[in-house]
A and B are shown apart, each in its own frame.
Chain A
Amino acid sequence: MGELRLMKGNEALAEAAIRAGMDAYFGYPITPQSEVLEYLTREAYKRTQCTILQAESEIASINMIYGASGAGARVMTSSSSPGISLMQEGISYIAGAELPCLLVNINRGGPGLGTIQPSQGDYFQSVKGGGHGDYRLIVLAPATVQEMADFVQDGWELAEKYRNPVMILSDGALGQMMEKVELREQIDRSKHVIPEWATTGKKKDRERNFITSLFIQPEEMEQVNLQLQAKYKTIVENEIRVQEVQTDDADFVIVAYGLSARIGRKVMELLRADGIKVGLIRPITLWPYPYETVSRAAERVKGFLSLELNAGQMVEDVRLAVNGRCPVEHYGRMGGIIPSPDEVADVIREMYSKIQ
Chain B
Amino acid sequence: MQEIEHHYEDMDIVCERPTALLDKRMHYCPGCGHGVAHRIIMEAVEELGIQENTIGVAPVGCSVFAYHYMNVDMQEAAHGRATAVATGIKRCRPDKYVFTYQGDGDLAAIGTGETIHTVNRGENVLIVFINNAIYGMTGGQMAPTTLLEQKTSTTPYGREAPFMGNPLKITELLAQLPGAFYVTRQAVNTPLHVRRAKKAIVNGFKWQALNKGTCFVEIVSNCPTNWGMKPVESNKWLEEHMLPFYPLGDMKVPSKEELENG
Known: A56-B113, A56-B117. A71 touches B76 (CB 8 A): no
Contact with B along A193-211 (1 / 0, CB 8 A): 0000001111110001111
A201 and B85 contact, CB distance less than 8 A: no
Which of B86, B91, B96 makes the CB contact (< 8 A) with A200? B96
In the bound complex, residues from chain B placing their C-beta under 8 Å from that of A93 are 78
A63 and B91 contact, CB distance less than 8 A: no
CB distance from B69 to the nearest CB of A (A): 11
Closest B residue to A74 by CB, please name it: B92
Contact with B along A209-238 (1 / 0, CB 8 A): 111111000000000000000000000000
Among B52-60, B155-163, B189-197, the stretch in contact with A: B52-60
In the bound complex, residues from chain B placing their C-beta under 8 Å from that of A57 are 113
In the bound complex, residues from chain A placing their C-beta under 8 Å from that of B88 are 24, 26, 63-71, 73, 75
B71 and A204 contact, CB distance less than 8 A: no
User: A23 on the interface (CB 8 Å rule)?
Assistant: yes
User: B215 on the interface (CB 8 Å rule)?
Assistant: no
User: B72 on the interface (CB 8 Å rule)?
Assistant: yes
CB under 8 Å from chain B, chain A span 34-72: 51, 53, 55-57, 59-61, 63-72
User: A109 on the interface (CB 8 Å rule)?
Assistant: no
Known: A201-B73, A202-B73, A214-B76. A71 touches B92 (CB 8 A): yes
Known: A60-B84, A202-B52. A66 touches B91 (CB 8 A): no
Q: Kindly state the separation between the CA atoms of A155 and B234 in the bound complex, as whole angstroms.
A: 53
- The interface on chain A, measured as residues whose beta carbon lies within 8 A of the other chain's beta carbons, has a size of 40
CB under 8 Å from chain A, chain B span 77-133: 77-78, 81, 84-89, 91-93, 96, 113-114, 117
CB under 8 Å from chain A, chain B span 25-55: 51-55
Which of A24, A60, A202, A211 makes the CB contact (< 8 A) with B71? A202
In the bound complex, residues from chain B placing their C-beta under 8 Å from that of A56 are 113-114, 117
CB distance from A74 to the nearest CB of B (A): 9
Q: Kindly state the separation between the CA atoms of A212 and B51 in the bound complex, as whole angstroms.
A: 20
User: B75 on the interface (CB 8 Å rule)?
Assistant: yes
In the bound complex, residues from chain A placing their C-beta under 8 Å from that of B89 are 67-68, 70-71, 199
User: A110 on the interface (CB 8 Å rule)?
Assistant: no
Closest A residue to B71 by CB, please name it: A208
In the bound complex, residues from chain A placing their C-beta under 8 Å from that of B223 are none
Which of A53, A61, A213 makes the CB contact (< 8 A) with B76? A213
Closest A residue to B67 by CB, please name it: A210
Known: A60-B114, A67-B87, A68-B88. A90 touches B93 (CB 8 A): no
User: A89 on the interface (CB 8 Å rule)?
Assistant: yes
Known: A56-B114, A202-B52. A73 touches B92 (CB 8 A): yes
In the bound complex, residues from chain B placing their C-beta under 8 Å from that of A71 are 55, 88-89, 92-93
Closest B residue to A214 by CB, please name it: B76
In the bound complex, residues from chain A placing their C-beta under 8 Å from that of B64 are 214
Q: Kindly state the separation between the CA atoms of A210 and B91 in the bound complex, as whole angstroms.
A: 18
B77 and A201 contact, CB distance less than 8 A: no
In the bound complex, residues from chain A placing their C-beta under 8 Å from that of B78 are 63, 66, 89-90, 93
User: B62 on the interface (CB 8 Å rule)?
Assistant: no
User: B248 on the interface (CB 8 Å rule)?
Assistant: no
User: B251 on the interface (CB 8 Å rule)?
Assistant: no
Known: A53-B91, A200-B96. A67 touches B74 (CB 8 A): no
In the bound complex, residues from chain A placing their C-beta under 8 Å from that of B93 are 71, 200-201
Closest A residue to B95 by CB, please name it: A201
A67 and B86 contact, CB distance less than 8 A: yes
Known: A68-B92, A71-B93. A63 touches B67 (CB 8 A): no
From B53, B65, B75, B114, residue with most partner A Cβ within 10 Å: B75
In the bound complex, residues from chain A placing their C-beta under 8 Å from that of B85 are 63-64, 66-67, 70
Known: A59-B81, A200-B96, A203-B52. A64 touches B75 (CB 8 A): no
A211 and B75 contact, CB distance less than 8 A: yes
In the bound complex, residues from chain A placing their C-beta under 8 Å from that of B52 are 201-204
Q: Kindly state the separation between the CA atoms of A207 and B70 in the bound complex, as whole angstroms.
A: 12
A202 and B72 contact, CB distance less than 8 A: yes
Q: Kindly state the separation between the CA atoms of A93 and B89 in the bound complex, as whole angstroms.
A: 16
Which of B54, B65, B84 makes the CB contact (< 8 A) with A201? B54
B113 and A211 contact, CB distance less than 8 A: no
Q: Kindly state the separation between the CA atoms of A63 and B87 in the bound complex, as whole angstroms.
A: 9
In the bound complex, residues from chain A placing their C-beta under 8 Å from that of B114 are 56, 59-60, 63
A210 and B75 contact, CB distance less than 8 A: yes
From B54, B70, B77, B91, residue with most partner A Cβ within 10 Å: B91
In the bound complex, residues from chain B placing their C-beta under 8 Å from that of A65 are 88
CB distance from A23 to the nearest CB of B (A): 6
In the bound complex, residues from chain B placing their C-beta under 8 Å from that of A201 are 52-55, 72-73, 93, 96
In the bound complex, residues from chain B placing their C-beta under 8 Å from that of A59 are 81, 84, 113-114
In the bound complex, residues from chain A placing their C-beta under 8 Å from that of B67 are 208, 210, 212
CB distance from B218 to the nearest CB of A (A): 22
Known: A56-B114, A60-B114, A201-B55. A66 touches B96 (CB 8 A): no
In the bound complex, residues from chain A placing their C-beta under 8 Å from that of B51 are 202
In the bound complex, residues from chain A placing their C-beta under 8 Å from that of B86 are 67
Q: Give 26 pairs: A residue, B residue, CB < 8 Å, sorted on A.
A: A23-B92, A24-B92, A26-B88, A53-B91, A57-B113, A59-B113, A60-B113, A61-B84, A64-B87, A64-B88, A66-B85, A67-B85, A68-B92, A69-B88, A71-B89, A73-B92, A90-B78, A199-B73, A201-B72, A202-B52, A202-B54, A203-B52, A208-B67, A211-B75, A211-B76, A214-B64
A-B CB proximity, top 5 nearest: A67-B88, A67-B85, A64-B88, A68-B88, A63-B84
Q: Given contacts A26-B88, A56-B114, A63-B114, could you give 19 more A-B pairs where the C-beta distance is less than 8 Å?
A: A24-B88, A51-B91, A53-B87, A59-B84, A59-B113, A60-B117, A61-B84, A63-B84, A64-B85, A66-B85, A67-B92, A68-B89, A70-B75, A90-B78, A93-B78, A201-B72, A209-B73, A213-B76, A214-B64
